[in-house]
Amino acid sequence: MNVSNDRAEAQVPELILFITGNAPRSRRARRNLDEALESLGLDSVEPLEIDLMEHPEHTVTYSVFATPALLRTDSSGDVQVMYGDLSEERKLADFLDDLRRIQ
Amino acid sequence: MNDTNWKLEKRSTGIPGLDRMTCGGLPKHQTTLILGQAGAGKTVLTLQILAHAVAEGGGGVFVTFEESPAQVRRNADSFSWGKALNQSDSWFTIDARLPVGAESAGTFDIDGLLAAIQAKVDQLDHPWVVIDGIDQLLQHQPDRAFAVDQVRQINEHCEKSGWTLLLSGKAEGDSVSPRHLEGIEYMLPTTLVLTAAMIDRRLHRHLRVAKYRGSAHVPDQVPLLIDDDGIQLPYHAVATDERVKAGSDRVSTGIVRLDKLLDGGPYRGSSTLISGRPGTAKSTLSAGFAEAAAARDERALYVSFDEMQAPYVRNLASVGIELQPHIDAGRIRFCAPSAQSGLIIEHLLMLQRQIEEFDPHLLIIDPISALIKAAGGESPRIAVERILALAHSRGITTILTSLTGVGDPEGESTSADVSTVADTWIVLDYNERAGERNRSLSIVKSRGSAHSNQQRELLLSSDGIDLADVYEYGTEVLMGTARVQKEIEENVANRRRNLGHEQRREALERRIEQARSEAERLATELELEDRSFDEVRRTDRDYIDRIKSRRDPANREIDGGSDE
C-alpha cells in the first residue's frame, strides 16, 4: 500500500481510519464508521485503513498518536482529525457532514 | 524486566543538585513524572537530562506535544549544553502536536504513540524517552479515569521495553497535576513537581521530589534557577556533608594584638562574624584579614555587596592596606555583585561558582546582611548555612560582616542567626566620650579559644590597623583623648609620688647620717669620760696608799729617822 500516492491521486476528500491491530476500540471504530457512512448515504466512500502497529512510521507521517483516529482531508488540503472509537453518533455525523455536501 | 531483576537502579541526570536530592538519580527503566506550571522549567529539565545522557554516549527520543521540534532545538540551543545536543544524531524528536481543532468521539488508545517511539529507539540500548506535555493528548480523552489509566499504561510499557521515561504534564492553577489527570502524581513511582511563582515581581522557581518509591530522597521544596548552564539547584549543588577534620591551625588576622586576643587568630576553616554600625571599620578589618592571607601567599575571595573595587582599594590604601599588588598577582579576587539585582539563591550560586573556580583559602562576604536582604521567598538562614558549610568543608576561613544599628549589636544578621552559627564574633562600635567617637573592638565569643572579653580601642592610621591596650579606669575602659588625658594625669601623679618618696628618703638618710655622726661624737665623749675616770681613780688610790703608809707606826721612826 502506498498511502501518499493514493492521496496525491485522489482529488476528492478522503477518509483515513487509523487503528492499532485488533484492539477492541479499533474494531468498534471501524463498525461505527461503516454504519454512519451507510446511514448518511455515503456508501461510496471507501475509508483507507492504516494499522499503526504494522506501520508505526505513519504515526509520525500523519501525526496521529491516538487510535482509533479518523482523518479527513478536504479538497483544499485541510486536515481534520477525530479521535476515539466514534461511539458518539452526533459528533461523527457532524464530522462526516461536510463530506456529504461535497459529494 | 523479569522477577530476578527487580532491584532499583538509578541513572544520573547530570544535574548535581537533583542527583544529590534523589541519592543518585532517576529510576532506570521506569517513569518519572514531571509536573509543573507553564514556565516552571519542565522542558528545560528534560532536555538537560537528555543532553547529559547523549554526552555520556546514550541516546533517546523527545516526543513533543506542545512545541515544534525546531522550537525544542532552539530552546536547547540557548544553553551551554545545547550545541552538543543539537549536533548529536543519537537522539530524535517526534512532533506529536495535535492538529488545530482536533476533537474526540469516544475513548481512544495510545498504542500508536508507544509503537512510534519504539520504532525510533529500537536501535538504542537503554534509551531515554521524553514525552513532553502528555496532557495535550490526554485532555481529549472523554473518560478521565481512563486517561489516568493510560498514564499507568505508559509506565508499564516503559518498564517492559527498558525505557527510562520522563513524562511531563502541565499543572494548572493551584493543583499539582493537570486538570483532567488529577491524582496521577501519586500513581507513578517517581514524581517531581516544579513550581513557578511571582513574588515581588520576581520569578521564583522551585523543585520538589514529591515521590520516589523505594529510594531515600530530599522531600523539601528547593529553589531552582535557570541560567546559561540550565537548571541549577544551588542548595544541593555541592557536597557539604563531608566530615572535615577540625584543625588546630590558626590564621592570623593581620593585627598582632588581635591575634594575641584570639589565642593566635581564628582557626583555619572557621567562621568569624564582624558586626558593627556604619563606619566602624568592618570592611577595613576584613581587608586586613585578606592582606594577611595574601602575604602568606594564600588566596582570598572578597565579595563586596556594598562597594566597587576601585574606591574600596583606594580607601584602604589610605589606612596602609595595599590590596592592589595582591589583586594584580591573583592572590586576592574582588567580586562586587549588586545585592538587589538577584535572588538569594542567585547569589548563592555565584558564590559556589567563585569558590569552585578560585579555590580560596579565605572568603570574605561584606556584608552578609546584604545577602540576607536580597529577594527570595525562602529563609536566608539556609543560604548562609550552605555557604558556611561549603566553606567549612573546603577548609576555607570565612569572614562575614554585618551592619547593626544602635542598641542592636546583632543587627541584621540576627534574622539569619549568623552570630549563632559563626565560631568567632567580633563586635565593632563607637565609644562616645568627651565629645569624640573612638572605634572599639570587643570579642563576644570565640569557640575553642581563650579570649579577652574586654573592649579595645581600634586605631586606624596610615600604618594600618592596630589595637590600643585597654586603659582601665575603675569599671570603665577609656579611649581616645580621654585615654591619653587619663594617661598623662596618671603619669603626673606617679611622678609626684616618686618625687615625694625620694625626698622623704633623702631626709631620712640625712637623719641617719646625722645620727651616725652624733653617735661617733658620743662614743668619743664616752671614751674621754672613761679615760678621765680611770685617771681620777689612780690618783685617789695613790693618795690613800700614801695616807695609809704615813699612819703605820712601823714606818713612823723611819719616817721620823729618815726622810723616806
* The three-state (H, E, C) secondary structure of B213-278, written as one string: CCCCCCCCEEEEEEECCEEECHHHHCCCCCCCCCCCCECCCCCHHHHHHCCCCCECCCEEEEEECC
Question: Averaged over B127-144, what is the pLDDT?
Answer: 92
CA separation for the pair B465, B318 (Å, rounded): 11
Of A37-41, A70-74, B462-466, B537-541, which range is least confident? B462-466
User: For residue B490, is pLDDT > 90?
Assistant: no
pTM: 0.73
Task: Give the pLDDT mean for B375-385.
Answer: 72
- For residue A10, name the pLDDT band (cuts at 50, 70, 90): very low
Tell whether B61 lies on the interface with A, counting CB pairs under 8 A: no
Contact A92 B140 (CB under 8 A): no
pLDDT of residue B1: 46
Q: Label residue A5 by pLDDT band (50, 70, 90).
A: very low
Using the beta-carbon criterion (under 8 Å), do A82 and B137 form an inter-chain contact?
A: no
Residue B23 pLDDT class (50, 70, 90 cuts): very high
- Is the confidence at residue A4, as pLDDT, over 50? no
User: What band does A8 get if pLDDT is binned at 50, 70 and 90?
Assistant: very low
Residue B163 has pLDDT above 80, yes or no: yes
d(CA A32, CA B1): 38
Chain A residues within an 8 Å CB radius of B129: none
Amino acid identity for residue B503 in this structure: Q
Task: Tell me what pLDDT residue B376 has.
Answer: 65
Distance of CA A39 to the CA centre of its chain: 16
Rounded to a whole number of angstroms, the distance from the CA of A25 to the nearest CA of chain B is: 7
Q: Which domains does chain A have, with CATH numbers?
A: 3-102 (3.40.30.10)
The per-residue pLDDT for B392 is 86
Work out the mean pLDDT of chain B and round it to a whole number: 86
Q: What pLDDT score was predicted for residue A18?
A: 94
Query: If you search the block for the grid coordinates 528547593, which residue do you land on?
Result: B222
- Chain B segment 79-98 residues within 8 A of A by beta carbon are 94-98
Domains present along chain B, CATH in parentheses: 10-237 (3.40.50.300), 256-471 (3.40.50.300)
Q: Which three cell numbers stand for residue B22?
A: 534523589
Given CA atoms B161, B162, B163, B167 in this order, what sign does their dihedral have? Answer: positive
Q: How far is CA B525 from CA A9, B187, B364, in A?
A: 166, 130, 90
Q: What is the mean pLDDT of residues A13-40?
A: 90
Contacts of B98 in chain A (CB under 8 A): 63, 81
| Rounded CA Rg of chain A | 13
Chosen for mutation from B93, B95, B108, B146 (greatest number of chain A CBs closer than 10 Å) is B108
* Residue B95 with chain A: CB contacts under 8 Å: 60, 63
Q: Which of A31, A69, A91 is nearest to B98 (CA)?
A: A69
**Cis check: omega of the bond before B367, within 30 degrees of 0:** yes
B484 pLDDT more than 80:
no
Tell me the average pLDDT across B432-444. 80
What would the pLDDT profile of B208-232 be if each residue is shown by its tens digit?
999 999 999 999 889 899 999 999 9
Question: Residue B486 pLDDT more than 70?
Answer: yes
pLDDT attached to residue B31: 94
How far apart, in whole angstroms, are the C-alpha atoms of residue B361 and residue B87? 40
The answer, yes or no, to whether residue B363 has pLDDT greater than 70, is yes
Flag whether pLDDT at B111 surpasses 60: yes
pLDDT score recorded for residue B419: 77
Type of residue at B125: D
In this structure, of A3-7, B36-40, B498-502, the range with the lowest mean pLDDT score is: A3-7
- Beta-carbon separation of B106 and A21 below 8 A: no
Tell me the C-alpha distance between A24 and A30, whole Å: 10
Average pLDDT over residues B409-415: 55
